[in-house]
Amino acid sequence: GAGVSQSPRYKVAKRGQDVALRCDPISGHVSLFWYQQALGQGPEFLTYFQNEAQLDKSGLPSDRFFAERPEGSVSTLKIQRTQQEDSAVYLCASSFRDAGTNTEAFFGQGTRLTVV
Amino acid sequence: GDSVTQMEGPVTLSEEAFLTINCTYTATGYPSLFWYVQYPGEGLQLLLKATKADDKGSNKGFEATYRKETTSFHLEKGSVQVSDSAVYFCALGGSGSARQLTFGSGTQLTVLP
């Protein structure tokens, strides 16, 4: 596709349920980021991939959060045993080269996760 | 650590009014500065950027100047339109070894006809 695609767009999970959120970056983009955006706040960094390598996962809030990008394209963010505080919009972004000062990041529309 | 502080919203203006959204930052190294915009129902889009001190980014009538001495990157537009109604995010990136963007909390702009 022409842009970053995320699915599902909306997800309602019962507390304790596991969820998997998918990101299809722009074809050929090397860098991929996941962000978490709480209501009324700016996005906060979760993790970063360069191709299939996860180079930074310092923003993952707990060991219940796990991300992978096994073939260097599609990425999945998995949240185990969801809790109410996990409710947020999860954004994926990709960029063409190794992310640096001048590299524009392209964002998907996000997945809105609601934990009930 | 790095941080971005944005003018709190929401901001409501009449069409053709002058817009300023304040943004200040704290960062190590020499970051690049960005403004992203989020229109209703859409993803974040890059509006403009500046990569070094005194650079001016501009796009769609919006401007922002990278002011290192005041650590600021205020967004301005001389005459807003209804179609500018959106949420605006100031962000910094490329500070030190970090590759991710650090965002402000966003400012909701509503322009009335």
For the stretch B1-47, pLDDT in tens is 889 999 888 999 999 999 999 999 999 878 899 999 999 888 899 99
How far is Cα B68 from Cα A37, in angstroms, rounded to an integer?
28
Non-local CB neighbours of B9 within 8 Å, separated by 6+ positions: B106, B107, B108, B109
Cis ω for the linkage preceding B40 (within 30 of 0): no
What the block records as the tokens of A97 is: 């080269």
Query: In degrees, to the nearest 5, what angle opens at C-alpha A99 toward C-alphas A95 and A101?
Result: 115
| Nearest-neighbour CA in chain B from A17: distance (Å) | 27
pLDDT of residue A81: 98
Of A20, A33, A42, nearest in space to A108 by CA: A33
Report the chain B residue with the minimal C-alpha distance to residue A98. B99
How far is Cα B77 from Cα A34, in angstroms, rounded to an integer?
31
Q: List the 55-74 stretch of A: residues with Cβ below 8 A of B.
A: 55-56, 59
Task: Return the SS3 of B59.
Answer: strand
pLDDT of residue A1: 54
Q: Which sign, positive or negative, has the C-alpha torsion B99, A47, B66, A106?
A: positive
Across the A:B interface, residue pairs with CB atoms under 8 Å apart total: 64
Residues of B within 8 A of A110 (CB-CB) are 43
Q: List the 24-43 stretch of A: residues with Cβ below 8 A of B.
A: 31, 33, 35, 40-43
E strands in chain B: 3-6, 11-14, 19-21, 23-26, 32-38, 45-50, 56-59, 62-65, 75-77, 86-93, 101-103, 107-112
Of B25, B32, B34, nearest in space to B1 by CA: B25
DSSP H or E stretch at residue A20:
strand A19-24
Tens-binned pLDDT, residue by residue, of chain A (116 aa): 579 999 999 999 999 999 999 999 999 999 999 999 999 899 999 999 999 999 999 999 999 999 999 999 999 999 999 999 999 999 999 988 765 555 688 999 999 999 99
Of B22, B43, B28, B8, nearest in space to B96 by CA: B28
